[in-house]
Amino acid sequence: MKMLTSMLTRTGRCLCLAVVFGVLAFSDARAQGVLPEFYVDVMGVASEGDSGYNRIDLYTRVPYPRLTFLNSPDGFQAGYVVTVEALLHDGDRLTSTPVQTRIWEGSATADIYLATQSDELSSYTTQSLQLPPGRYQLSFQVEDRNSSQVFVRDLPLEVRDLSGSALSDVAILDSYDAQTLEFIPRVNNRVGTDELSMQVLYESYSDMGADVRLEHELVGVYREGEITTLPVGSEVTVYEESQALEIRQGRNQHVVTVPLDGMEVGPHELRIRMVDESGAVLDEVSKPFTAVWTGLEQHIADLEEAIEQLDYIAKKPELEYIRQGPTEGDRYRRFREYWEKLDPTPGTQRNERMEEYYYRMSFANQRYTSLVKGWRTDRGFVLVRFGEPDFIRKKPHTFDYEPYEVWIYERIGRQFIFVDKTGFGDYQLLVPIWD
């Protein structure tokens, strides 16, 4: 198996890419507008030779806004240290001494300051462990070199026995070069609703070579609390196909394109089975991932709050109709139908008006949240309704005046004045917007 060795190597060198997040709201950070500190993904494959160990490839991805950049003659620079410890489960007990530890470095650069704050940029690293079959916990730590801020994350890991006829773990790919066999993994296991298909990579193994059938099945797995139109606990097959082939002795690499037509928003699993000529299952493996609204990962984390946020755009009967859906699936269906009526490009996967609206909501929460959510403040209300102003004129506190801000919208010929009467940053609109 090859990686993009000029860009991403197992010695821990860093890959910095512009990544368009096709992600929604099922990330570890459930609060609106909050990026996860970092993402990790793990792929277990058979090691070379007959060592009885598996090679565990580790991938990390740190969004630029989570890093501290310092200005330098070569641009803005950030650096961090990644530490991972593998702890073995001994029955129900987790051992306190790591069976293996790896430490490596990552870095990131940007030409302009704006890029350091972009949610679309991330820094990538990779590293490998050698572990025998068993149950483990991987404890990751990322320490920012410039701020000394530390982020941590634990990940359960089952290392399977890959001897005989077996399948490796599965990686979802961001890109794959069929000529060089080099690839870049997705890392965050999120697939956007605008994607027509996804590529996955895995390996098969055989002691002597065999005629087998490889079955691929994509299913939606809907659990309590997930945004879906389907009943809790149901599974729906989105795609399935079967391919008969002869696998060679040793290691075989497979790159499969999986169509995503008809995929609902929510959790899914890609299930792969290797079946012999008699129909017996030799091995099977699954890869969970989440299908998400493209462009809305950071902006919608909770359906009920997303419905409440329609307060600034929906008519009262429309909003009440959505709220009164008897189940979450019903409320989601009505919510989706409402936005479909406002879609400026019907028939396409993206709804640009919806994306812009919830981007403004998220931005208002990031900027103006204090005792109340930012979108509920006067400044948040104006920001959501009219977008960012063309100019902001600020006046600090003086003996004669309370602090105030003037938001100027030249493009629509309007301006709004906000006054901080308390001195605690609670800016209120001087003249109600409807006056």
Nearest CA-CA partner of 290 in 261, 258, 267, 260:
267
Strand partners, 8: none
CA distances from 166 to 4, 204, 205 (A): 26, 6, 5
How far are the Cα atoms of 204, 254, 273 from residue 210, in angstroms, in the given order? 11, 15, 15
- In sequence order, the β-bridge partners of residue 104 are 82
C-alpha–C-alpha distance, residues 321 and 338, integer Å: 10
- Token readout for 84 is 């991972």
Helix H segments across 295-351?
Answer: 303-308, 316-323, 328-342
Question: CA dist 59 to 136, 137, 206, 234, Å?
Answer: 17, 15, 27, 32
Residues of the chain with CATH 2.60.40.10: 15-292
* Nearest Cα residue to 39 out of 109, 107, 115, 124: 124
One digit per residue, the tens of pLDDT, for the chain of length 435 reads: 444 332 343 333 343 333 322 222 223 333 333 446 899 999 999 998 777 899 999 999 999 989 999 999 999 999 999 999 999 998 888 888 999 999 999 999 999 998 998 877 899 999 999 999 999 999 999 999 999 999 999 999 999 999 999 999 999 998 888 888 888 899 988 888 778 899 999 999 999 989 999 999 999 876 544 445 555 567 888 899 999 999 999 999 999 999 998 787 778 999 999 999 999 999 999 999 988 776 565 566 677 889 999 999 999 999 999 999 988 778 888 998 999 899 888 877 677 888 889 889 988 988 898 888 999 999 999 999 999 899 999 888 776 778 999 999 998 999 999 999 888 788 999 876 654
**Residue 214 phi, psi (nearest 5):** -100, 120
**Which residues in 111-196 belong to E strands, given as ranges?**
121-131, 134-144, 150-159, 166-167, 171-177, 182-185, 190-192
Per-residue CA distances from 260 to 178, 220, 224, 295 (Å): 21, 11, 23, 17
- Could you give the angle at the alpha carbon of 227 between the alpha carbons of 224 and 230, nearest 5°? 75
Sheet holding 15-18, edge to edge: 15-18, 121-131, 54-63, 39-46
Could you please report the per-residue DSSP string of 398-415? -SS---EEEEEETTTTEE
Percent helix, strand and coil across the chain, each to the nearest 5: 15, 45, 40
Left, alpha or beta for 225 (phi > 0: left; psi -120 to 50: alpha)?
A: left
Q: 215 - beta bridge partners?
A: 242, 273
DSSP 344: S
The DSSP secondary-structure symbol of 374 reads G
> In angstroms, rounded to a whole number, what is the distance separating the alpha carbons of residues 60 and 74?
25
Instruction: Give the model's pLDDT for residue 363.
Output: 86
All residues at 6 or more sequence positions from 72 whose CB lies less than 8 Å from its CB, including other chains? none
With H, G, I as helix, E, B as strand and everything else as coil, classify residue 361.
helix
pTM for this one? Answer: 0.67
- What's the rounded Cα separation, in Å, for the pair 323 and 301? 17
Rounded to an integer, what distance in angstroms lies between the CA atom of residue 169 and that of residue 57?
10
User: What CATH architecture does domain 15-292 belong to?
Assistant: Sandwich (2.60)
